[in-house]
Amino acid sequence: MAKKDTINALIRRGIDEELAEKLANEGYLLGDVESASVEELKDHMNEEQAKDIKKKVGKKPKKKKKKSKKKKKSKKEEDIDMSTPEKIKPLKGVAKKLDKIQDEMGYDLPRSIIKNAADRIEEEGVEEEDYESILEIIYDKYKSRKIDPLDSVGIVGAQSIGEPGTQMTMRTFHHAGVAELGVTQGLPRMIEVVDARKVPSTPIMEVHIIDKWKKDRDKARMIASKLEVTRLIDIAELEIDMADMKVTIKPDMKKLEEENIEIDEIVEKMKKLRGIDAKVKREKDTIYLISEEAKFSQLHQIVEKAKEKKIKGLKGVERAIIRDVGSEYVIFTEGSNLKKVLGIEGVDISNTFSNSMVEIYNVLGVEAARNSIIKEAKDTLNEQGLEVDIRHIMLVADMMTNEGDVKAIGRHGVSGKKTSVLARAAFEITSTHLLRAAIVGESDDLDGVAENVIVGQPITQGTGAVKVKYTPRNDEGD
């Protein structure tokens, strides 16, 4: 395990970052920390810290299993079907017929292709006698797109994305779909995707509404009001009364009605203002913040903090815009808070998404993050009018997510984790990689492409993966 991985693994187990770095610098791996005694750890920290680390990281002793008497199964338990349910649903209708025909013809098409073909056949109303010829065409196309064994898919994929990438514009903003929201596109957006940036330069969400509400503008407006951050300055006027040393808040009743906010909600929020000493008092539709100190500077501080106080909405979502897209209303937001959005009543959680892959990973997991990388990269290229086979993008997404989290394509991610010293050195910071490898005594088996090119020998892929041995005839002619 690399030094950075060790630090991250220790932090995930609740170890302080400074202590984690200290252990990693001393050459400890996660397994070393688990097997080390408290006495050994005390050489690098105090006894209390060593015990705390052993409690969080140390291996737990296995509990002895108690022998339990086997209970006789009751008749009810015997009737229960304990077999594992099938994960793959059986094919039906046209898909089942196509699958049967392909078996007879000796084809091995994937289920997804069979299902997609069946859907299209049903849509177009194709006659059953044409199924065989359609399958023949599909199979020919499928065979022509298969990859040869030991083909350099990484290089082909990298070049297939990199070459069109040189033709991408450098403009940062593009009004995609919604005129009021500027979204990063072109090369800057592609760099964000492959770098797996935690926060995109222009985070947005596309919030869809459940079927029964998606055509109701009032419901869409209600959901949008729950998303968009509403601060006090947006719905009220603030005045300083020097005579009575207080701040007067006069809410705009029309705006309160539009945003579906009650005056009592404002009062409660004002009571939670931090860092100021002021009493909150309500008289009909007016709210007063009465200062404890008779200073103008204190009143000014109260006004500034009260103005920016969030009354309603989600943290990070600055604006929410409703748009009529086709036959439904969709909410586009400036800013992103996917976790909270998915918990709001009326939001269609299966279609709502953010343009931040890392946020999707944190909320929905690695598979959803992989799909997000593919979608964002493909959409960015399509917006520029560049056609790239989706399989190249899928390969990049797989490389970024195959270890269970989202890694960047770069020295802090995929390229930096290569086992080959020369491959890492060829990418960036050459001298540092070579120096570290020399210090710890790393070896390079020359299994990859970059390292073999560096030393000037054939790569171990394609034709270079085959070794031919020549055995000369002996004197007897055998």
At 155, list the tokens. Answer: 């290089």
Q: What is the pLDDT of residues 383-399, one digit of tens each?
A: 888 889 999 999 999 99
Contact of 27 with 441, CB cutoff 8 Å? no
Closest CA to 164 of 383, 428, 372: 383
- Top-level CATH class of 431-465? mainly alpha
Q: Listing from the earlier edge strand, what are the strands of the sheet with 204-207?
A: 319-325, 328-334, 204-207, 353-354
pTM: 0.67
At 374, list the tokens. Answer: 């593919």
Identity at 350, one-letter amino acid code: S
Identity at 154, one-letter amino acid code: G
At 158, list the tokens. Answer: 């990298």
Listed by start position, the domains of the chain span 3-57, 93-144, 230-312, 431-465
Q: What is the pLDDT of residues 163-173, one digit of tens each?
A: 888 888 766 55
At 125, list the tokens. Answer: 């109303």
Q: What is the pLDDT of residue 68?
A: 46
Task: List, in sequence order, every residue forming a beta bridge with 346; answer none if it has no partner.
Answer: none
| CATH topology assigned to domain 230-312 | Gyrase A; domain 2 (3.30.1360)
Q: What is the pLDDT of residues 279-316, one digit of tens each?
A: 777 777 787 777 776 677 777 777 777 777 777 788 88
pLDDT lower than 50: segments of the chain: 1, 60-71, 75-78
Q: In this prediction, what percent of the chain has a pLDDT beyond 90?
A: 12
